[in-house]
Amino acid sequence: MKIGTDIIEIQRIHSLLEKYGDTFKNRFLTPDEIIFAKKVESIAGLWAAKEAISKALGCGISATLTFHDIHIFKNSKGAPYFTLSQKAQKSYPIKSASLSISHDGGFAIAVVVIDLKK
């Protein structure tokens, strides 16, 4: 099992959104994520989640795992979960995973636990 975590100051994301707008969102969010992440706190949470996932996989955001290789969704109860692109699944075959995202006090944090197939 692998664990990844990331924390980000929400104001940092707010500043990037003010400076770059949709260009910034398009850099790391999928079109579906843009639809459900309207508030800056949610956008910061998605950033933290993608960073945490990349850390758990041991590669960071890089040529082998880009922001757009990670797709975050919410289930019917609003809980986050993710999938990887087909390309990334070949390098990182996941057996099971759990993702938690939270924000409070000006920060967004994400924690992921991933069990890779052997």
pLDDT 10s digits, 68-88 = 999 999 999 999 999 999 999
pLDDT above 90 (res 3) = yes
Domain boundaries, the chain: 2-116
pLDDT above 90 (res 114) = yes
Q: What is the pLDDT of residue 41?
A: 97
CATH assignment of 2-116? Answer: 3.90.470.20
Q: What is the pLDDT of residue 118?
A: 80
Q: What percent of the chain has pLDDT over 90?
A: 97
Question: Could you give the CA distance from residue 72 to residue 101 in angstroms, rounded to a whole number?
Answer: 11
Question: Could you give the CA distance from residue 109 to residue 94 in angstroms, rounded to a whole number?
Answer: 22
State the helix-helix crossing angle for 40-56 and 10-20, rounded to 10 degrees: 110
Question: Could you give the CA distance from residue 72 to residue 62 in angstroms, rounded to a whole number?
Answer: 18
Stated pTM of the model: 0.95
